[in-house]
Structure 1
Amino acid sequence: MILTVTLNLALDVTYDVATLTRHATHRVQRVRQRAGGKGVNVSRVLASLGQETLATGLCGGPTGDLVRKDLHKAGLSHAFHTISGDTRRAVTVVDDDATVFNEPGPLVHPAEWSLFQAHFTRLARSASVVVFSGSLPPGLPDDAYATLIGLAGGAKTIVDTSGPALGAAVAAAPSLLKPNARELAETGLSPAGPLVVSRGGEGMRAMADGRCWEARPPEVLTGNPTGAGDAAAAALAVALRDGSPWEEALRDAVALSAAAVLTPVAGAVDHAAYRRFLSKVSVKEVPCPW
C-alpha cells in the first residue's frame, strides 16, 4: 500500500474563464469543487492506475466535512485525523494556464499534532511507500515531515514540499526528494541523496547514485498544470516501491505528469495520452547540475 500524507488538506475549487485579467470582472464558465491537497491528488492518480493507496492527514470543520464527503463519493480510501480548525480552500482559475490562490490552512494545536503522529505511526506499518506532499498548516513545526519520516518504519519515503519544511526534510534523509526547480533553488541546498526536480514544460531532472538524467515531454502542452507534480509523485512512488531503474521511473513520471496537464482538475490524468506519451518521452544521462 502507498500511503499519502496531506497535512494541509484543501477543498479545491476550480473556475474556468476565457481569459484571466487583473483588476477585471470575470464571467466564470464552469465551477468544479472537490477534495484536494497534494497528497490527495497523488492518491487519486494512484487509484486511477489500479494501485492500492490510502490518504491521511489533518481534516476539520465544515469544509473538512465536504472533503470527506467527496472522498467517500469518489471511493478513495482515506483515514484523516480530525482537528478543531476548518480545512482550507484552494481556488484555481484556469484560462490557457492556471492561477492558484491557496488559503493558509487551520491552526493545528500541539496536542492535535501529537495525536496525529501516533495515528500516522499505526498507518505506516502497512505501507511500502509514504508520500509526504504539500505545505504545512499554521502551528506545525518546520521539521514536521522530518519527524514523520522518522516514524515511517521500514517504508520508503518521498517528500514533495517547499521552504523551511523542505530544508528540514533533507536532514531526515528521505528515500527521495521531489521539489520543483524554484523550490529547490529557494532552499539554497545541494542535496546529496536521490532527487527528482520538476521543471514545468521542460520535464524533469534526477540525481541518484552519483549520476544524473534529464527527461523531457514529447510535445508542448497547454492546460491545467496544477496537478502535474502530484501525478509525477504518484509514478515515482510506484517506481520506488518496485525498484524500477531511474530512466524508467523518469519516463513514467514525465508521461504521467504531461497527461495530467490535459485534464481540467488536479488529481486526474488523461490515460490515453499517458499511454501515448510513454514511448515518446526523451530520457538521457547528463552532467550533474547540482
Structure 2
Amino acid sequence: MESPLPQRRTLKSRSWRQIIMLTLLALFLVPVAARAALFAFEDRPNGWRNADWSSIGALPAAAAHPQARVLFLTGRTGGLKGAVAVHSWVVFKRPGARSWTRYDVVGWGNPVRLNGWAPDGRWYGSAPTVVADIKGAEAEAIIPAVEKAVKDYRYSNYGDYRLWPGPNSNSFVAAILRDIPEIQATLPPNAIGRDFRPGPYVGWTDSGTGFEASLYGLLGVKLGWVEGVEFNFGGLVAGFDIRDPALKLPGFGRVGLLSSTANAALAPSR
C-alpha cells in the first residue's frame, strides 16, 4: 500500500507556493496595478518637451537665505515609469552663497548633472517632495561630505546609467545618504533603484539604525528605525514606517503622516 506521506508533502509544498504567490500578489502587484490605473486618468505631459520644469517658487533666493542648507528632493518621473517611480536629487548652499547648487543623475550623456534645473523645479510637471531638509550649522558641516560623495560616485561615466535596477538617479542620491548616515533619512519606497548594489550585501542599513540583506537591490529585506520594515521584490518595495507611522506601497510610495524629516520645507516663499 502506498504511503500517504509523499502526497501530504506535495500538498504542503503546493500550499506554501500558493501562500507565497498570494503574498507577492497582495504586497506588490495589486498596489502597482492600482497605481497604474490611477495614473492612466491623470493629466500628464506626453513628453519631456511638453512638461513643466519651472521652479515652484518655494525656496528663497540664495542671497536672501544666509545660512547653509541641504535638501534631498523627489519628483514623480515621466512616461510610463511615472506610474511607479520618482526621480531624486540633492540641493545645497553654503553660508552666504549667492546661488543654490543642484546635482542630479540622468539617463543621457554623462550621468551626473550640475544645476541642470531650478533647485525646487518641477520634474516632468510634478512638484517636488522633500525627503530631508537640513539647515544651519548642521548643514554647513555636511556639505563637504555631500560634495565628496558626489565626486566619488562610482557610476558617473558615460554609459554607466541603467534605468532598472540601477544605477540611476535614485541610486545616486541613495549613495550620498549612505555616505552620510547622520542625515538619518531614506528615500521613499517608490524611488526605484535606491537599493541598487553591485553585489549581495548583508549589514547595516544606510542610516546605520538597522539591518539589511540585499541581492543586487532586486531582492531584500530591511529592519531599522529610519527605514522601518521593508521587503524588496524586483526593486519594488512594500512595508511600513516605524518612526513616522505610514504604509510603504509600490507605486504609491509612503502613505501616511507627513514625515517629520521634511519640516514643510517647500512652503511657498514670500
Greater C-alpha radius of gyration: 2
| Same fold, judged at TM 0.5 (above) | no
**Could you say which structure has the higher helix fraction?**
1
